Amino acid sequence: MDEGVTVITNPTVSVRLTSTLSSFEVNRRFNRGITVAEFKSKLEMVVGTPASSMDLQLFSASDKFLQNMEDNEALLGSYPVDDDCRIHVIDISGAQTGEFSDVSKVEKYEIPDDVYEKRTESVRSFMKKKKVGQFNEDMMAQREAEKADREMEEKAAIEAIVVGNRCQVLVAGQPTKVGTVMFVGTADFKPGYWVGVKYDEPLGKNDGSVNGKQYFECLPNYGAFVKPLSVKVGDFPEEDYGLDEM
């Protein structure tokens, strides 16, 4: 190298961090001028391993193993640590992978309902005092009345719909769709009355089946189930989409 030429190295480096205690990879930036011991102390909050229980392995940006980082007094920059390289933290304390992230091993406490009912500072107690939600008798009675009225309207509407009827489906926020009624009645997927329609175009969501149960048959994406009040039966001839042979 010519005399007088100075090589300036970026004082910080961005590295990828992995650990035997986690399946996640994180990216952090560190100063090359800190020692490996100082580097380990900074990793404690990242990987959850005490600095005294860490062994470090250095990998290239392409994940090729380079070397172990064994000298705690050496500077981080004395190792070939470049941007996007990976430093793997091996926990030698005996902890197992996922020990600190697997919540399935955490015992869950559920307070008995009668005990929760007696609490005076709970959400339920607040809702009772303010008569909010299910504890507002007038609102709940109004909802029940509206639900009963809607069910009566749906029942009246469905009595005028027969399998084989041509129909229009009018759903707020969606374009008008034309098709043929293929199913009328109740279904397993949701309560209430439903009308199964085979559309003239592939504007549906299924092939006449929901959750593995076949209610009627049609091509995929030609079938849909809608509420009776969204269906208008009438003389709606199938449109000519220009598909005739020429």
Whether the per-residue pLDDT at 219 is higher than 80: the answer is: yes
Query: CA distances (Å), 192 to each of 8, 99, 120, 154, in order?
Result: 74, 46, 39, 8
User: 242 or 187: which carries more pLDDT confidence?
Assistant: 187
> What is the 3-state secondary structure of 17-44?
EEECCEEEEEEEEEECCCEHHHHHHHHH
Three-state DSSP at 141 gives: helix
According to DSSP H, which parts of the chain are helical?
36-47, 113-118, 123-130, 137-158
pLDDT for 39 beyond 90: yes
69-78, 139-148, 173-182: range with lowest mean pLDDT? 139-148
Residue 1 lies in a domain: no
Asked if residue 104 belongs to a domain, the reply is: no
Domain contains 127? no
Q: Work out whether the CA dihedral 81, 82, 84, 85 comes out positive or negative.
A: negative
Band (145; pLDDT cuts 50, 70, 90): confident
Domain boundary among 60, 91, 122: 91
Q: Name the domain boundary from 65, 91, 117.
A: 91
Q: Are 214 and 145 in contact (CB under 8 A)?
A: no
- Residue 183 maps to a domain: yes
* Residue 245 pLDDT greater than 50, yes or no: no
Residue 47 lies in a domain: yes
- In terms of pLDDT, which residue wins out, 49 or 39? 39
Task: Pick the more confident residue, 81 or 244.
Answer: 81
Q: Name the residue range of residue 208's domain.
A: 166-233
Q: Write the CATH number for 191.
A: 2.30.30.190
pLDDT at 102: 56
Residue 141 lies in a domain: no
Q: Is residue 203 part of a domain?
A: yes
- CA distances to 66, 216, 236 from 165, rounded to whole Å, are 73, 14, 9
Residue 198 forms part of a structural domain: yes
Domain ends where: 38, 71, 91? 91
CATH value at residue 26:
3.10.20.90
Total domains in the chain come to 2
